[in-house]
Structure 1
């Protein structure tokens, strides 16, 4: 059976962008005559037939926002996005909107999903999660003119002042700054940091807050930095070695999984009272009585909807203004 040509096939054949093909079909006056001719030649050669039903649907409103459903990963720290999606669904419902969850294991899969949802008129907007530097998903949505916002910053220079799309993110550095200041006041001056390898943008942001408070001592024997690629078990091994070699008053961690590993190591080395602060405020951290930083995903969800719709509107009528917002996490103190 012969494969049905897509708009991407036409773009590739004509040597133009997908958006240019879309303009030739839907707004030809925007495109030069020579380019229009190339596109029409490619359409004829491939037998491409624009989907009239999809174009009709795109002119209507679906009252639906699309969000990718992350693959289940288990562990301690996989609950933040679950809480975010739950909060987003509740806040959207009060504005008369639905949330459509779609699955994608890779960026390529998500790009295809974005195209299908937009072409089919199934969503009015999309909220991205798990953002990264030079995010191809954001580029695709900007190219298509699809309203969207992101839970997560673009990770470029001067994100807030030079944002090219709306986003909301947890201010990780502000959180670990508050945690480090708390431990300096309550525990002592020798505050360690347990984080991920330095190629993690989120991890680097959270480490930065600790470094800003500790200053030049960050990384030396009085304020060591420990790296753990994995979760609880790996952090337990790393912190066990740290506590046997150095005198530490407290530990700031980049996640609750790392904090739980650090706590198990502290118990194992005879220091169950060691002050430790995690990040994400999971139920596991609460059950162990560990202090942690609460990301406030409910506040983030509400802020994203306001960016897409304004403070009171019930419809997404135009692409939202590009702006960035950092939400400071709340320090939840549980250890005396």
Structure 2
């Protein structure tokens, strides 16, 4: 016996709104008040409603498919963030009647070729970009052909965000997250170091800015430690700094660096030494390392809102949260 699938009318009745309001939430969520939109989205989840994508594609002559590049697998600790983002994007696109198509490419030029082929084949009609930068040929081409897109991340150039990139983007407030981490670390002592990547990385420089603004005049250069994103390199740098003395805690630009710092402190017999990471990965959780949670699920929701919006390009900065833990020694 077949089970009747819920309809738009069922969702409208469950949420206490009109059918048109449900349609607006699915197709133009930006025009619906947040409270009403959340009520409709909740009803969609509770009823398990899935729009008929085939009917919608026939009606609109659109594929209703979002293309997103999947970065090559590089291992490591912090790569899980983009995986979480793609998972959340896929999960949240379905109730809106949208699909996700993941494609691979080794560099920007290969990605351009993939995008051209996917668009010409009618396989995608929207795009989510990652890793944008000033002069990015992908954004120029997408503007030229009129293909709607949103970037996850601000376009950086020489460590500085482009003031007016001309396209919609969603990013995480790295400076704000590190500032919160620094405030927490300062409860264990005023001499809080920052372990970051070599300067010139937009994301890394933004996170360092949060440390400097929170530390003020106490943000002296001797407390600025540098390491590539490697556990071994971070451990070596932290061991050197601990041996030199003069720091009470360290805030790190990533969980990879935080794990290295945590191992260095443990080896040095410094169980009281506070380490805070960034990304809130499963490894940080397993070791009990405090870390800044990027909330990629909120990033995905904002990206989808902007992708279906009819408004001019806008930007959204997602506020991360600090997750405080007791380290495993």
Specify the TM-score bucket, using the shorter chain as the normaliser.
0.7 to 0.9
> Alignment RMSD, CA only?
1.8
- How far does residue 133 in structure 1 lie from its aligned partner after superposition? 2.7
- How far does residue 168 in structure 1 lie from its aligned partner after superposition? 0.2
Q: 1:315 — aligned with what?
A: none
**1:51-83 Cα shifts (integer Å, max 9, x gaps):** xxxxxx9x8200110000110010101100000
Q: Secondary structure at the match of 1:132?
A: coil
- How far does residue 155 in structure 1 lie from its aligned partner after superposition? 3.0
The answer to whether the 8 A contact 1:227-1:238 is kept is yes
In structure 2, what is the Cα distance between the partners aligned to 1:198 and 1:287? 29
Q: TM-score, normalised by structure 1?
A: 0.76
- How far does residue 163 in structure 1 lie from its aligned partner after superposition? 4.3
Q: Does 1:236 align with 2:235?
A: yes
Q: 1:259 — aligned with what?
A: 258
Match of 1:327 among 305, 310, 318: 318
Q: 2:306 — aligned with what?
A: 307
In structure 2, what is the Cα distance between the partners aligned to 1:281 and 1:149? 24
Q: Secondary structure at the match of 1:131?
A: coil
Bigger CA drift: 77-86 or 246-255?
Answer: 246-255
In structure 2, what is the Cα distance between the partners aligned to 1:270 and 1:81? 35
Q: 1:62 — aligned with what?
A: 63
Q: 1:182 — aligned with what?
A: 184
Q: 1:6 — aligned with what?
A: none
**1:132-162 Cα shifts (integer Å, max 9, x gaps):** 23222111111111000010112377757x3
In structure 2, what is the Cα distance between the partners aligned to 1:194 and 1:219? 13
Corresponding residue pairs, total = 267
Call closer, same or farther: CA 1:288–1:154 in 2, change over 3 Å: same
Structure with max Cα Rg: 1
Q: TM-score, normalised by structure 2?
A: 0.78
* Equivalent runs, 1:24-35 vs 2, <5 Å: none
In structure 2, what is the Cα distance between the partners aligned to 1:90 and 1:147? 20
Q: 2:74 — aligned with what?
A: 73
In structure 1, what is the Cα distance between the partners aligned to 2:229 and 2:130? 21
Q: 2:286 — aligned with what?
A: 287
**1:171-193 Cα shifts (integer Å, max 9, x gaps):** 10010011111111x21100000
Q: 1:165 — aligned with what?
A: 167
In structure 1, what is the Cα distance between the partners aligned to 2:134 and 2:262? 33
The answer to whether the 8 A contact 2:134-2:162 is kept is no
